[in-house]
Structure 1
Amino acid sequence: MRSALVEREGFAALVLRLRAEGITNLDLLTAVEQTPRSIFVPPEFAQSAYSTRSIPIECGQFMEGADLSVRLLSHLQVKPGHRVLEIGTGSGFLTAVIGRLAERVISIERYKTLLAAAQRRLEQLSIRNVILRQVDGMNGLPGEGTFDRIVSTAAYPAMPRFYAEQLVSGGMLLVPLMVDEQRCIMVRLTKTGSRFEREDLFEVPFLPLQPKIAQHL
């Protein structure tokens, strides 16, 4: 009972902060509400699940703060019928929310430990339109056709080239780019025909993408 109350209070506080930022999309907020963040964080951080802080998870990775998670999804503009590629499954929270909004999601991650935990959470929430794979994300996911949306939560040293072939016309890429050794910014590319419109959005605290899959974690 206590945990359910904490969940509701945390979500309510999050919605108030998001509304102050102008994020009011009802479909998005409903998907977030239906995806309790407390099951995606280590038990000792349950009280911070809806806070703005980053939360450490397994394999030396972290889960972005609640506000940043929803802000990213707001900029990604996922719609019913979309096919989405996520690079960096992490805790699986973004994966699960996207799964509630899109028709199909493929999420890739280099750490099998994180994939196994995310799979258990997706099953707990009965989200069945998501496929998880242990893949090196440096080149996106070649051989799987094109996607309406691609989002990465790991930073690239320069704009990755795979998006040109893996995005549909009208598709959108949301990716963090390293500005220097300490800073990265979230960039959105929108594809129109063979042209791309670039928008630099805001600084993000994401870690640089690591090549190859992890052999032992």
Structure 2
Amino acid sequence: MTPRLVEKEGFAAVVLRLRAEGISDLDLLTAVEQTPRSLFVPPQFAEEAYSSRTIPIECGSFMEGIDLVVRILHHLKVKPGHRVLEIGTGSGFMAAVMGRMAERVLTIDRYKTLTTNAQRRMDALSLRTVIVRHADGSSGMQGEGTFDRILVTAAFNSMPRFYADQLVSGGSMIAPLMISEDVCRLVRLTKTGSRFEREELFEVPYLPVVPLLASYL
């Protein structure tokens, strides 16, 4: 099967699965369709690019299954004009999708290997709206102003308020929280003035956040 056919058939299958869940956001699905996922997965997993399974990548990290990616972004509700902060670049796929909908996406990761590879993919797609940075995201991103949306893909034991403080009024943040030693749940905070509305979404396979930059990778 050719790469183009894998992309086309894989995306069509995803749309059918998500439609059964009630997810049919045209702008989001168009952004996913315009972002060839096979560019982001390791070559040996190319035919799994549009499966719902997690895919291992460099530095002991993983890519979320495509269904989970779309579910998360469906709840994040990125819109044109938004400034987005992503903590945990990984392969860069989610940042690339958001970069097709938002005005600007700043994505950071503690692994230099991951940020270098993600930047290469953004360049290949000519995505100038995505800024990839090698940085420690475990204690906030000061000096970057405020954001309309914040997405965290590493789990904290409690909601990281240092990120919530960087939200504009009306903005929202999605982050995974460790509910117990082996249960991680995605939570959304929506900011109204100085108040936050909290909503628990669904369980996710994220790992606990690791502080500091990686020494070797």
Q: Is the contact made by 1:89 and 1:95 (CA closer than 8 Å) also made in structure 2?
A: yes
Q: Measure how far apart 1:163 and its partner are.
A: 2.7
Q: Is the contact made by 1:87 and 1:140 (CA closer than 8 Å) also made in structure 2?
A: no
Q: What's 1:97 paired with?
A: 97
The 5 Å alignment of 1:34-45 reads 34-45=34-45
CA distance in structure 2 between the aligned counterparts of 1:14 and 1:166, rounded to whole angstroms: 33
Q: What's 1:7 paired with?
A: 7
Q: Deviations over 1:106-125 (max 9, x none)?
A: 00100000000000111111
Q: Is the contact made by 2:141 and 2:163 (CA closer than 8 Å) also made in structure 1?
A: no
TM score, norm. by length of structure 2: 0.98
1:155 aligns with 2:155: yes
CA distance in structure 2 between the aligned counterparts of 1:127 and 1:164, rounded to whole angstroms: 27
Aligned-CA RMSD value: 0.9
* Aligned-residue identity in percent: 70
Q: What's 2:107 paired with?
A: 107
Equivalent residue of 1:176, what SS? Answer: strand
What runs of 5+ residues in structure 2 fail to find an aligned partner? none
Q: Measure how far apart 1:139 and its partner are.
A: 2.1
Between 126-135 and 85-94, the greater mean CA deviation after superposition: 126-135
Between 140-149 and 185-194, the greater mean CA deviation after superposition: 140-149
Q: Measure how far apart 1:135 and its partner are.
A: 1.2
Q: Size of the alignment, in residue pairs?
A: 217
Q: What's 2:24 paired with?
A: 24
Equivalent residue of 1:17, what SS? Answer: helix
CA distance in structure 2 between the aligned counterparts of 1:6 and 1:161, rounded to whole angstroms: 41
Give the aligned residue type for 1:66: I
CA distance in structure 2 between the aligned counterparts of 1:38 and 1:208, rounded to whole angstroms: 27
Q: Is the contact made by 1:176 and 1:206 (CA closer than 8 Å) also made in structure 2?
A: yes
Judged with a 3 Å threshold, the aligned counterparts in structure 2 of structure 1 residues 164 and 53 are, in CA distance, closer, same or farther, namely closer
The 5 Å alignment of 1:1-217 reads 2-217=2-217
CA distance in structure 2 between the aligned counterparts of 1:54 and 1:114, rounded to whole angstroms: 17
Equivalent residue of 1:120, what SS? Answer: helix
Q: Is the contact made by 2:164 and 2:173 (CA closer than 8 Å) also made in structure 1?
A: no
Consecutive aligned runs of 4 or more in structure 1 exceeding 3 Å deviation: none
Q: Measure how far apart 1:165 and its partner are.
A: 2.0
